[in-house]
């Protein structure tokens, strides 16, 4: 006969945080989900920072948000906060509204594919939070930068007189740029040159 499992099981480990004022909580760490104990304090700080950002925003505590930003930057914590997490707080909390707008601008820049615009959106991110979106944008900027360099290198070869191989490389670089939704100056110059050649 099967015996029902008893909860909490021996060795259970779970850490939660509560906002008693608003009756909200978040599980920071659960051994049931992770199947291990926390490796270090970052295992608890990663999920705690977004909770505290929302808490500070609801309390209109800009000083706390600035301290959280500074702390997460010093310890290289990526703030796991998405626009959807702030949706229900929109038009209720000014600080969270401003943060949500910054995250929306970054998302639009990511969709647009212009590395310069992405850089501007990262620099304009309220409180300099390094969110999941910022991390994605940084990786995309790096990739798009390589594609831009390939276009510029091909154009340089053409200017140096290596027209046949340069045009071949340029076609490939522009095709890769289109596939990656690259936009901006280098892409425009590459497309214009190919249009003139065709």
Q: What are the tens digits of pLDDT across the range 111-160?
A: 888 899 999 999 999 999 999 999 999 999 999 999 999 999 999 999 99
* Residues of the domain holding 35: 10-80
Tell me whether residue 90 is in a domain. Answer: no
| 51, 80, 109 - which closes a domain | 80
Residue 188 lies in a domain: yes
Residue that finishes a domain, picked among 80, 104, 133: 80
User: How many CB atoms sit inside 10 A of residue 63's CB?
Assistant: 8
Give the tens place of pLDDT for each residue, 75-106: 999 999 988 888 888 888 899 999 999 999 99
Tokens of residue 34, six digits: 């992770």
If one counts every other C-beta atom within 10 angstroms of the C-beta of residue 41, the result is: 10
Residue 191 included in any domain = yes
pTM, two decimal places: 0.74
Q: Please check whether residue 65 lies inside any domain of the structure.
A: yes
Burial 157-169 (b: 16+ CB within 10 A, else e): bbeeeeeeebbeb
Element (H, E) at 10: none
Look at residue 55 and tell me if it is in a domain.
Answer: yes
Structural domain includes residue 23: yes
Is the Cα torsion angle 61, 67, 73, 76 positive or negative in sign?
negative
Residues 175-188: pLDDT tens digits? 999 998 888 889 99
Token pair for residue 75? 């310890």
Residue in 89, 92, 87 with CA at minimum distance from that of residue 107: 87
Q: How many domains does the chain have?
A: 2
Q: Are 170 and 156 in contact (CB under 8 A)?
A: no
DSSP code for 26: E
pLDDT confidence of residue 1: 46
């Amino acid at each position: 006969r099967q015996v029902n499992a008893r909860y909490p099981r021996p060795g259970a480990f779970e850490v939660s945080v509560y906002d008693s004022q608003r009756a909200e909580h978040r599980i920071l760490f659960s051994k049931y989900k992770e199947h291990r104990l926390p490796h270090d304090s970052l295992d608890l700080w990663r999920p705690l920072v977004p909770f505290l950002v929302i808490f500070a925003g609801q309390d209109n505590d800009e000083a706390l948000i600035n301290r959280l930003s500074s702390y997460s930057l010093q310890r290289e914590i990526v703030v796991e906060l998405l626009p959807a997490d702030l949706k229900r707080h929109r038009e209720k909390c000014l600080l969270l509204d401003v943060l949500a707008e910054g995250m929306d601008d970054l998302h639009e820049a990511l969709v647009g594919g212009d590395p310069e615009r992405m850089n501007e959106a990262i620099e304009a991110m309220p409180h300099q939070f390094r969110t999941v979106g910022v991390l994605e944008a940084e990786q995309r900027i790096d990739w798009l930068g390589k594609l831009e360099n390939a276009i510029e290198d091909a154009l340089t070869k053409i200017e140096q007189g290596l027209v046949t191989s340069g045009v071949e490389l340029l076609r490939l670089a522009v095709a890769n740029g289109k596939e990656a939704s690259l936009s901006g100056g280098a892409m425009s110059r590459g497309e214009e040159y190919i249009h003139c050649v065709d």
